[in-house]
Amino acid sequence: MKKKEAILKVATVLFANKGYPDTSMQELSRLTGAAEGTIFYHFGTKEGLLLAILKQTRETIVRQFEEFLEAREFGSGLSRVEETVSFYLYLAGFLEDQFLLLHRHHVYQFSETNPEFREHLEEIYNCLTDFFEWAIIAGQEDGSINPELHPRKTALILFTMVDGLVRFKNYNLYDAGALFNELMNACRTMLQAPQRNN
């Protein structure tokens, strides 16, 4: 099982950083110390290797978020949203290669023809959006979040913002870290329940 794990690990880094078509099995073989034949023995095809990586990514991300949710006690629903956003950004740094892979086009391309790809992707995105939505609903129940907002759609808008920031970071377009405070402020302002007049 040693070689199989090494291949998965190295291939994740290469597919995420160099891209799927630009990573050759020869290179993968050289960097893992496994023969080319070994890779095909374990994963069948190059596409099969990418699928195995996506599966592992899904399991890791979902588990990490579930552990976060279990371990944390939240104050208001609004602060739960804020902490979820923070955790998303932390995780995108901690699991940098996996999140980069999710911004790569090949997983979406394969998902158009291979239902297993689509299933993993949907699970990941549904899971992430759910965590935002639950936090919003909690906030609407405790009065810290505007009750007129549509929870699911607002969760998607939040997700859009956070995921866009991760993309900026990954592409080195801007110093995304410098935007953290602005992002949190924007989230807070757009969600906040309308203030009562004095």
Q: Which residues contact 90 (CB under 8 A, 6 or more apart)?
A: none
Q: Which is nearer to DNA, 5 or 130 (CB)?
A: 5
Shortest spacing between CB 14 and DNA, in angstroms: 10
Q: Which is nearer to DNA, 35 or 186 (CB)?
A: 35
- The tokens for 59 are 């399991």
- x-or-dash pattern for DNA, window 15-44, by CB under 7 A? ------x-xxxxx-----xxxxxx-xxx-x
* C-alpha pair distances (Å), 7 with each of 83, 120, 125, 136, 145: 34, 20, 26, 40, 46
Shortest spacing between CB 69 and a second copy, in angstroms: 23
**Closest residue by Cα to residue 12 from 98, 92, 123, 95:** 98
- The tokens for 193 are 């329940």
Task: Return the DSSP state at 195.
Answer: P
Shortest spacing between CB 42 and a second copy, in angstroms: 24
Shortest spacing between CB 159 and DNA, in angstroms: 32
User: Binding residues for DNA, how many (CB under 7 A)?
Assistant: 23
Q: Point out which residues bind DNA (CB under 7 A).
A: 1-4, 21, 23-27, 33-38, 40-42, 44-47
